[in-house]
Amino acid sequence: MALYLILNQTLAVLDCLSRLEDIAGAFQYSATFRLVRALAHLANDVEVVAGTAGARRLQAIYREASCLWLSSAGGQAIDFDTVFLIMRLAKGCRFARCMRSTARYNWREDSAALAQLETIRTAKAALGLSSRDLTPRDFRDPELLLLDHAGIHELLPGSDAEQQYENLRVAFDDYLARRTAAEGIGSLRTRWPTLDPWTSPDLVTIRDVQAAIDARTVVVDYYQGEARDHRPMLYALCISSDDVALFGTPIGDLPTEEVAIGESGMRVPLPPLSRLARAVRTGVNSLPGFSRVVSRGGEEALQAGRQVMFGALTSFLAAARAGGRDHLCIVPHRAIHFMPAHLLGPVNAGLGTEWTVTYLPVVELVVAHLDGAATTTDRPRDTAVGLDFKDGAHPDLPMLQRAPASACEVANLLDGKALINAEATEANVLDALPPSRRFHLFTHGQQCVYAAAFHALYLHPDVKAGRDGVLEAYQLLPLGLHGVDVLTLSACESALGRFDIGDNVMGLPGCLLFAGVKTIIGTLWPVSAPVAQSFFCTFYYREIRDQESKLTAFGRAQRAAHDAFPEYRDWGAFYYVGRW
């Protein structure tokens, strides 16, 4: 297969993968894991050459391998190192490997990318689209973010000018992913002479993670695989500095459904955990009712989610908590990325009352050598940005009355600079980001479900410079942001990422992390301005004035928000992604 990859023979590569899937499905322990270990050297090349189709075949092989993780009696059947290796390949492998590379793709130096972007701009101008007309009409339900990324591209037939414009953005999104991967892993033709397919690939190990985490932390690494009977199984690999355990929870009995999308009435299957995550999110965001902090539907969904995600882990986590550990770092998979795990459990006794809960898109981020580049040598400064949209620069966006005052308050706490309204142009924000250690943004954002490279933040237009005030995720990729320790996002849809078929993080969070930002603190859904202002001012006060760690300051700010705004949809929206 390596020869076909070198020759860019896509169909031959896909045929090889189909045959390898048959081998993996034969339940031959030795053959399956020798196969996976050999594939580890070529997995990213498969995605570069064969794209989404190749990634789907790889994921099918990994699911087949997961059938062998537990015995028919439920006991562990294989070693932790093999489980961990397969998880690393199945979850964000391309993203993690590219972050480890010192070679970075710069679309500004790629004539093909620039030509595609010019075509997209021309198509948008011809359609007369405004700044808010960036999401196709069939994807305007925000909870459709919970759907698997796979399949969304095929839902755009290109039957009219608007869908043709959308397909142009899909093509650029795919091109960007492939070029980033190709630059990050290098040429297989160059690597092949020294590549030994039977040796362990250069991936992070369990021992690397255990050496990197502190004595207060437990990492829970999830994977949606299969049991020996091929029924869906949710695996959880729990890692502390001195212990490792694997748990499996059958999820085949969870209900599934098909959902209708937008005006066309197209129906898409909603997998069990996607359905559960959607129930939790909609239940938490529903009106709670008189003297309640969460709706009855939300309460039921939170209890169900706790049982599915943490029921099998109860004893392990209880022992860890009794041993003094108080930080739970969750590495999600698929729809779990959108699950507010810190809220799961009984009302006012959820997971977040026992633990400070954070999230990582890939577990490799805890390992120090993934920094990829040296921290900036410029004198660090802190910046806060706030736009109220009162001046009509983006007339179709609602006003954010408190944004300027909130940004000024944060800037005062940071003893930094505030960029307010007309000062907050794309050029000024992009100039202020790299030398900042802390960066706070209070503005509107908008998802692009089908092409995450166009996940956008709204800033002030700069007519003289020809900038429309829409900062899109791909623009962040060439920036060197390794000096940014924490970036906070205080607006709707600005911090909720997307994930592709290989579980690689996409959108604004992915581009920010890829560019070097260590920690992102944002919201899982829109929150009111008073709640956001209170939370972020408390966080920065704790971190700066009380000199607490980011993790401790986040936990205290979350508890303070709970006390001041007890409804789950308010205090429960805040989440922490990245290193601590």
Multiple choice CATH, 372-578, 3.40.50.300, 1.10.1740.110, 3.30.70.120, 3.40.50.1460: 3.40.50.1460
If you ran DSSP here, which 8-state letter would residue 470 be given? E
- In which element (H, E) is residue 177 found? helix 161-185
Q: 246 falls in which pLDDT band (50, 70, 90)?
A: very high
If you ran DSSP here, which 8-state letter would residue 139 be given? G
Query: Which runs of E-coded beta strand occur in 241-386?
Result: 243-250, 257-261, 266-270, 327-331, 356-359, 381-386
* The predicted structure's pLDDT at residue 266: 63
Tokens of 564: 């001041």
- In which element (H, E) is residue 226 found? strand 217-226
Pick from 361, 61, 43, 20: which is nearest to 203 by CA? Answer: 43
Question: What percentage of residues in the chain have a pLDDT greater than 70?
Answer: 86
Give the whole-angstrom CA distance, residue 50 versus residue 67.
Answer: 25
Across 47-73, b (16+ Cβ under 10 Å) vs e yields: bbbbbbebbbbbbbbbbbbbbbbbeee
* The predicted structure's pLDDT at residue 288: 94
* The predicted structure's pLDDT at residue 264: 57
Which carries the bigger pLDDT value, residue 519 or residue 262? 519
| Integer-rounded Cα radius of gyration of the chain | 23
Q: Distance of CA 427 to CAs 209, 225, 255, 433, 478, Å?
A: 38, 45, 49, 10, 14
Q: Which residues, in sequence order, are CB contacts of 366 under 8 Å at separation 6+? A: 209, 212, 213, 219, 329, 360, 579
* The predicted structure's pLDDT at residue 71: 66
pLDDT in tens, 123-136: 988 888 665 555 55
Tokens of 125: 């101008």
Domains 206-366 and 372-578 share a fold: no
pLDDT in tens, 288-302: 998 999 999 999 999
Q: 319 falls in which pLDDT band (50, 70, 90)?
A: very high
Is residue 10 exposed (0-12), middle (13-18) or buried (19+ Cβ within 10 Å)? Answer: middle
* The predicted structure's pLDDT at residue 160: 79
The DSSP bridge pattern shows strands 445-446 and 232-240 to be: unpaired
Pick from 533, 520, 456, 511: which is nearest to 486 by CA? Answer: 520
Tokens of 208: 């690397």
Q: Distance of CA 238 to CAs 5, 242, 244, 328, 331, Å?
A: 36, 11, 6, 10, 10
Average pLDDT, the chain: 86
Q: Residue holding tokens 């995550």? A: 277
pLDDT in tens, 424-464: 999 999 999 999 999 999 999 888 877 889 999 999 999 88
* The predicted structure's pLDDT at residue 38: 84
* The predicted structure's pLDDT at residue 329: 97
Would you give the distance in Å from CA 126 to the centre of its chain? Answer: 33
Which carries the bigger pLDDT value, residue 256 or residue 112? 112
Question: What percentage of residues in the chain have a pLDDT greater than 90?
Answer: 56
Q: What is the mean pLDDT of residues 399-408?
A: 93
pLDDT in tens, 469-487: 999 999 999 999 999 999 9
* The predicted structure's pLDDT at residue 475: 95
* The predicted structure's pLDDT at residue 79: 84
- Sheet with 470-472, strands from edge to edge, namely 445-446, 456-458, 470-472
> pTM of the prediction?
0.92
* The predicted structure's pLDDT at residue 486: 95
Q: What is the mean pLDDT of residues 518-532?
A: 91
Tokens of 82: 């093999």
Segments making up each domain of the chain, as ranges: 2-84+187-194, 107-181, 206-366, 372-578
Its CATH architecture, for the domain 206-366, is: 2-Layer Sandwich (3.30)
Annotate 54-86 with three-state secondary structure: HHHHHHHHHHHHHCCCECCCCCECCCHHHHHHH
Q: 498 falls in which pLDDT band (50, 70, 90)?
A: confident
* The predicted structure's pLDDT at residue 375: 46
